[in-house]
Structure 1
């Protein structure tokens, strides 16, 4: 006799899926709320709201902690459904693999590190006259630096080394290509975030094979 699927089964599967990556879905929930707010505001008010949350040079000097946090709670380009897809491709497997704390640590390293590196380059450009002084207030919000870092650190989740190298090369190529076409400080930020994600290897779980190699080497 065939076993019928209980109506509660799909709901249980969805709940289990979400609970295994709580940080990702809490973040998506916040982004949904801020996205709704963005669509309700007039362009001039929205610009002022985002300016206060931007990790530009001016705000980083005045209140770095506040803007580093709040800038990652607003989307800059692309609709929320697109980020649902991207977050499920990269953040969900990363959080499950690393655990929420280490996933947050990787994102923090990528988001904060890339922000300061890119804004530092912009500050140097302003100092040398390559960029106008008004660039200290350039709008810089969004989740892309953290995403680049997480996409890069997932390199170490791939068990087969040749495929791991191919994936890492693909990530670096994706973030390197814009550097050679109308270079902007955000392009530098994305590339820096990917490198910082690769540098987060010490935060990744050690595989048994890697542990065995380390023991033999010692």
Structure 2
């Protein structure tokens, strides 16, 4: 076999298998010929080589502390919870006469709504009926924290106050009209009506619109069943109707809170903060 280089021809040494007796006598192979031979040899892994690990899915990180408000994660809910804690401590240690007077001045009954509507609507939301161990206090912390982390603090308070104010008016205005036409006595204009329950029920309804269906509908079913059961018991029908009304108000806010949630997500992705409702 010959190879042509320029105008001259030189004999090409015959390739001798490395395992043949004449392999050493033939001398070392040219680099090009060795490369040709190695191209057909399958590459082998070393003794210590191991298969590359498959890319695993990131582990699901459970962070239960995110259920609670923090000064950085949910500052508005954190501050509101601190205020409710203080008023609850006041309710525990204040004298009965002083406590009744404060409750009466904060009540959203018809008489106070006619005289100082803005004051009593805000003041009544500073008290927890039943104290910090009541179900509505626990729901307040969990629900408002979850809502604030999704739509922001200012919008969460707006949802809360919307349910609190509208449900209060929806239950107290009919009482005033009934007294006006003589169906109820004048004493119905003066009653104790305070607490965060209307705002919490509205917040539950709004938050359910941001959850996946397998969480949304069981939540609404459980809360709705509990409220209807209280209404059937007929112990405080006006308040019970207010809870159902405020829950319905929260569900009507689904389109709004979903739009706010998308805006909040976009703002978080771009590194900006959205505060305007």
State the TM-score, normalizing by the size of structure 1: 0.79
- Residue 202 of structure 1 corresponds to 255
SS at match of 2:209: helix
Asked whether the equivalents of residues 67 and 142 of structure 2 are also in contact (C-alpha less than 8 Å), the reply is no
**1: CA distance, partners of 2:91 / 2:170:** 28
- Residue 43 of structure 1 corresponds to 96
- Residue 225 of structure 2 corresponds to 173
RMSD: 2.6
Task: Work out which structure has the larger RCO, using CA pairs closer than 8 Å and 6 or more positions apart in sequence.
Answer: 1
Give unpaired runs (5+ residues) of structure 1.
1-11, 209-218
The aligned length equals 195
Q: Choose from 98, 107, 110 the match for 2:151.
A: 98
- Residue 80 of structure 1 corresponds to 132
- Residue 211 of structure 1 corresponds to none
Matches within 5 A, 1:155-194: 155-159=208-212, 161=213, 163-182=215-234, 184-194=237-247
SS at match of 1:203: helix
State the TM-score, normalizing by the size of structure 2: 0.63
Q: 1:30 to 1:64 in 2, by over 3 A?
A: same
Shift of 1:130: 4.6
SS at match of 1:140: coil
CA distances 1:47-75 after superposition (whole Å, capped 9, x unpaired): 11110111110010001110111110112
Runs of 4+ in structure 1 off by over 4 angstroms are: 12-16, 81-84
Asked whether the equivalents of residues 68 and 141 of structure 2 are also in contact (C-alpha less than 8 Å), the reply is no
Report which stretch shifted further, 164-173 or 185-194: 164-173
Matches within 5 A, 1:135-154: 135-154=188-207
Shift of 1:147: 0.4
Q: 1:84 to 1:117 in 2, by over 3 A?
A: closer
Shift of 1:128: 5.0
- Residue 14 of structure 2 corresponds to none
**2: CA distance, partners of 1:74 / 1:88:** 14
**2: CA distance, partners of 1:140 / 1:80:** 18
Q: Which has the higher helix share?
A: 1
Asked whether the equivalents of residues 152 and 171 of structure 1 are also in contact (C-alpha less than 8 Å), the reply is no
Larger Rg: 2
